[in-house]
Amino acid sequence: MRITGPGQAIFALGFAVIGALSVGWHGFAPGWELLPKWLPWRNTLFIPYGALLLASGVALLIPPTAKPAAFALAVLLLIRLLLLHVPRVAMHPLIEAVWESMGENIIYLGGAWTIFSLLPGRSGILAKFGNVRAGQIVFALATPGIGLSHFFYLNMTAPLIPSWLPFHVPLAYFTGAAWIAGGLGIFFGVLPRLAATLLAIMVSLFTLMIWVPAVIATPANLSDWTEICSSVAITGAAWTVAESLRGRSWSFARDR
């Protein structure tokens, strides 16, 4: 058994770093801010939560443990989606930022499920589950919320573009539209492999051109570390979906 491709390794690296920083950097844990502050045990779960993400990320890189790790991570992300993001969207449906935040979690979920479905199954209960197309659709459903954030929060998106590039505002609009168009292509099967590959290239460039320099410039900035970890995980999910579209059918039948 081997890993599915570079996307899986990048995805695993993103979550391993998120977990390690959550354990070693109190208050890091991206997404933890969604927990109600009145919960008495809120600040006591950073370490076990981070340890779980770290273990999942590392296990994804080890072929014998990759499939159960992908399944466990998908379950964790689904629980986080249902308990934290869905209620927040229900309470604030007109605030685009909550849709963007939920979209990121859904992209992680789609990436984890696609990896799980691509990995060959052995005997046991996990061998009976898995559907690559379902993972692709979950990924595609997340893209509108992220793409629209480029339009709603143009004043925050455009300044992120490196100063040596021209046309910041048009590029912000273009990348937002690209997120939406790429998701539609994957969802409806219109040049889906090209759509997924272009999305993967785009988010890879985001990571390399925006967040890597930001972290190098201000390595103590917690916000920049959150962004680069999220961007790396999204990059891995995007490449995984692109890799999953190589010569695969569009059937919802269980993939083995």
Strands (E) located in the chain: none
Reported residue count of the chain is 256
**Number of domains, the chain:** 1
Question: Distance between CA atoms of 14 and 12, rounded to whole angstroms?
Answer: 5
Return the pLDDT at 18: 87
Q: Are 5 and 240 in contact (CB under 8 A)?
A: yes
Return the pLDDT at 130: 79
pLDDT tens over the chain, length 256 residues: 566 689 999 999 999 998 888 777 765 666 656 666 666 666 677 778 888 999 999 999 999 899 999 999 999 999 989 988 999 899 999 999 999 999 999 999 999 999 999 998 765 666 667 789 999 999 999 999 999 999 999 999 999 999 999 999 999 999 999 999 999 999 999 999 999 999 999 999 999 999 999 999 999 888 888 899 999 999 999 999 999 998 543 333 344 4
Return the pLDDT at 236: 96
What sign does the dihedral 15-20-21-23 (CA atoms) show?
A: positive
Read off φ and ψ for residue 18, nearest 5 degrees. -55, -45
Residue 219 lies in a domain: yes
Residue 184's CB is within 10 A of a number of other CB atoms, namely: 16
Instruction: Give, to the nearest 10 degrees, the angle between helix 6-24 and helix 96-118.
Output: 120
Residue 116 lies in a domain: yes
Return the pLDDT at 250: 38
Residue 47 lies in a domain: yes
Question: Distance between CA atoms of 108 and 12, rounded to whole angstroms?
Answer: 11
What sign does the dihedral 74-4-16-214 (CA atoms) show?
A: negative
Residue 252 lies in a domain: no
Residue 249 lies in a domain: no
Question: Distance between CA atoms of 111 and 135, rounded to whole angstroms?
Answer: 7
Return the pLDDT at 251: 36
Nearest by Cα to 59 from 105, 129, 11, 117: 11
Quote the pTM value.
Answer: 0.89
Contacts of 39 (CB under 8 A, 6+ apart): none
Structural domain for 151, as ranges: 6-244
